[in-house]
Amino acid sequence: MDWRGFEPRASSMPRRRSSADLPAPVVNFTRILNYSASSRAYRFIASIINVTMGNFVSDFFVMTKPRVWVFLLITGIAGEVFALSILRSLDIGGFLYVALFIALGLMGAESLSNYFDISIDKKMKRTMDRALPSGRMSPSVALYGGLILIAITLILAIFRSLLSFTFMATGIFDYTIIYSYLTKKRTSWNIILGAYSGAAPLLAGFYAFTSSYNVVAILMFLTIFIWTPLHIWSLSIKYKEDYAAASVPMLPVGRTTRQSMGILFPIAVLAVIITVLTGYEFRLYFPFYLGIVVFVVYILLGASLFVSYLRALAQPDKRIMKLFVSTNIFIGIFFVFVALFSILIPFLGVLK
């Protein structure tokens, strides 16, 4: 039997709503972490968030600068894993609890920092399309949203550990008040004064589980502290005209590229030295031959960072952004190895 004559008209059939019926998002969530955009799983999750939660949540999340705080969260997680490993403890609930309040604290601090930076971001080509300077989001959302996240973080932290609470609180204060509010627009020392905030999550993660002094934890903290100006100033060399237009006195503003690169030399050397010292101390948690492997890994990491600096020094106009990317890769690999080696300690390590 021919049923073609009985086919219903398209206009008479109710159509199921799909993501295509929703307004196109102002900010594509898949661009939040563009360095991982090649991941199919990530793109799938991001598209679901865009459809189910809409532009507001997407914009707020992007405003918290996940490309920044995810790196810092990795350092906090590495601190947790290291602490649990040397304690021979499998506290999964505590691990997730601490990772949660570190992440919320970082998001809250970035939100509050964005609130303070509105006037700067409006003047910089690199940042003028962000949610706050473009007007897609109200400044009050960033202010109160950031304060709420910070409050939740501190409440969760104080119930876990006084030391962890202290490092989270002082880190947030350093980033939002000392760096963003007081010094970012006033002195080229701003990033030095704000470097503590980048290293605080590591200690917050570590001291959520112990109160003992630990040389490796302090060296890891110093690694981030010294890495921060190398990382930020390499980016600001590329965008120094942007910073100058916004009257932000980053180191390269008012200096030639060659002068700025010269100032970065002792910082790069110090970063390498502390990286090697971290590997030297970390090796003591392992039997001799495995300890040598750990030590060599950190020597190679420090050497790779210094080689990237030397290449940028030779050709700053062509390679300065490669140095910036290298600093990202360096700190990521550094703490991934911290976590991986730490996991081995309960099985292959030596008691200390």
Per-residue pLDDT tens, the chain, 352 aa: give them: 444 444 444 444 444 444 334 444 434 434 444 444 444 554 555 555 555 455 667 778 888 888 888 889 999 999 999 999 999 988 999 999 999 999 999 999 999 999 998 888 888 887 788 878 887 888 888 899 999 999 999 999 999 999 999 999 999 999 999 999 999 888 888 999 999 999 999 999 999 999 999 999 999 999 999 999 999 999 888 888 888 888 888 888 888 888 889 999 999 999 999 999 999 999 999 999 999 999 999 999 999 999 999 999 998 888 899 999 999 999 989 999 999 999 999 988 776 6
Domain range for 219 is 214-240+251-352
Note whether 233 and 179 are same-domain residues: no
Amino acid, res. 289: Y
Note whether 293 and 271 are same-domain residues: yes
Residue 137: strand, helix, or coil? coil
Looking at residue 17, its pLDDT comes to: 44
Cβ-in-10-Å burial (0-12, 13-18, 19+) of 1 comes to exposed
Which candidate, 19, 14, 18, places its Cα nearest to that of 29?
19
**Does residue 333 belong to any structural domain of this protein?**
yes
Note whether 82 and 193 are same-domain residues: yes
- 298: Cβ contacts below 8 Å, ≥ 6 apart: 275, 276, 278, 279, 280, 282, 334, 337
Note whether 161 and 264 are same-domain residues: no
For the chain, the helix, strand and coil percentages under 3-state DSSP, each to the nearest 5? 75, 0, 25
Looking at residue 302, its pLDDT comes to: 94
**pTM summary value:** 0.80
CB atoms within 10 A of CB 344: 14
Looking at residue 120, its pLDDT comes to: 85
**Does residue 45 belong to any structural domain of this protein?**
no
Note whether 199 and 229 are same-domain residues: no
Domain count, the chain: 2
Which candidate, 288, 290, 291, 269, places its Cα nearest to that of 279?
291
- 88: Cβ contacts below 8 Å, ≥ 6 apart: 346
